[in-house]
Amino acid sequence: MNEKNPASTYDIIKVNENEEKHTLSIIVDDEPGVLARVIGLFAARGFNIDSLTVSETESKNQLSRITLVTSGSPSVIEKIKVQVDRLVPVHRVSDLTAQYGQYGALERELALIKVKGTGNKRLEALRLAEAFDAQTVDASLDSFIFQITGRTREIDRFINLMSSVGLTEVSRTGVAALKRGADNT
């Protein structure tokens, strides 16, 4: 299609904004379909979900906390927040990354990592696990399952190393996060 006669009005403008990772903490009514509403919104509007964790909260009022890691330019992150906040069962949306910075919010993830191997590889896997403070939660003659908790990047690094010593399976929980200090998230 030439310059003069584009076939559509829908010009997509590429704005060169840097993509950022943001951790959102979303408090919702714990009712059927609420998760579908949130992820349906992300799918419909073309937003990214890097990680997602859902569980009950401390409250007795049947509330759930959805901790969601997303990535996008700052303006996209802003759009995501207002879109999610508009959903009827959403109580509040906190952008932990924007509000509290990289160190103001505590973010942890748990991973189970299965490693298969014998001999030296097996020994190396054990040593690495020790270095990363990973626990051995299952063992057989030719396999281990390690459990590691930590920041996402740390777990990424551990998994990366493990892949050269026989990693066969990974299961991660996704990020759980809270604001540091006495105030609520």
Partner 1 sequence: MGKNISGAEIVIQAIADQGVDVVFGYPGGAVLPIYDAIFQQEEVKHILVRHEQGAAHAAEGYARSTGKVGVLIVTSGPGATNAVTGLTDALLDSIPIVCISGQVPTHLIGTDAFQEADTVGITRACTKHNWLVKDIKDLPRIMHEAFYVARSGRPGPVLIDIPKDIQFAEGDYENLSKITHKTYTPPTSVDHKAVGKVIEMIQRSKNPILYTGGGVINSGPNASKLLKKFVETTNIPITSTLMGLGAYPGSGKNWLGMLGMHGTYEANMAMHDCDLMICLGARFDDRITGKIDQFSPNSKKVHIDIDATSINKNVDVDLAILADCHKFLVEALKIIKDRNIKNFPTYQKWWTQIDTWKTVNCLKYKANPDIIMPQYAIERLYELTKDKDTYITTEVGQHQMWAAQFYKFDEPNRWLTSGGLGTMGYGFPAANGVQVAFPESLVIDIAGDASILMNIQELSTAVQYRLNTKIFILNNSYMGMVRQWQQLLHGNRISESYSESLPDFVKLAEAYGATGILAKKPKDLDEAIIKMIETPGPVIMDCQVANLENCFPMIPSGKAHNDMLLGEDVSDEQVSNAIDDDGKIMV
Residue 90, strand partner residues: 28
Q: Which long-range contacts (CB under 8 A, 24 or more apart) does 149-155 make?
A: 149/108, 149/109, 149/110, 149/111, 150/108, 150/109, 151/107, 151/108, 151/109, 152/51, 152/69, 152/107, 152/109, 155/109, 155/111
Query: What is the Cα–Cα distance from 50 to 21, expressed in whole angstroms?
Result: 9
Q: Shortest gap between Cβ of 177 and partner 1 (angstroms)?
A: 21
Residues between 120 and 159 with contacts to partner 1, criterion CB under 8 A: none
Which of the ranges 74-82, 93-101, 121-129, 165-173 carries the binding residues for partner 1, by CB under 8 A?
Answer: 74-82
> Which one of residues 82, 103, 141, 184 is an interface residue with partner 1 (CB under 8 A)?
82
Q: Shortest gap between Cβ of 86 and partner 1 (angstroms)?
A: 6
Q: Is residue 58 involved in binding partner 1 (CB under 8 A)?
A: no
Query: What is the Cα–Cα distance from 68 to 70, expressed in whole angstroms?
Result: 6
Whole-angstrom Cα Rg for the chain: 21
> Which one of residues 18, 32, 119, 140 is an interface residue with partner 1 (CB under 8 A)?
32
Q: C-alpha distances in angstroms, 79 versus 26, 72, 95, 129?
A: 15, 10, 12, 41
Q: Is residue 35 involved in binding partner 1 (CB under 8 A)?
A: no
**Number of residues binding to partner 1, judged by CB under 8 A:** 27
Q: Is residue 177 involved in binding partner 1 (CB under 8 A)?
A: no
Q: Which is nearer to partner 1, 79 or 114 (CB)?
A: 79
Which of the ranges 86-94, 110-118, 133-141, 170-178 carries the binding residues for partner 1, by CB under 8 A?
Answer: 86-94
Q: Is residue 42 involved in binding partner 1 (CB under 8 A)?
A: no
**To 10 degrees, the CA torsion angle through 103, 155, 64, 85?**
60
Binding site for partner 1 (CB under 8 A): 5-11, 13, 29, 32-33, 36-37, 40, 44, 75, 78-79, 82-83, 85-91
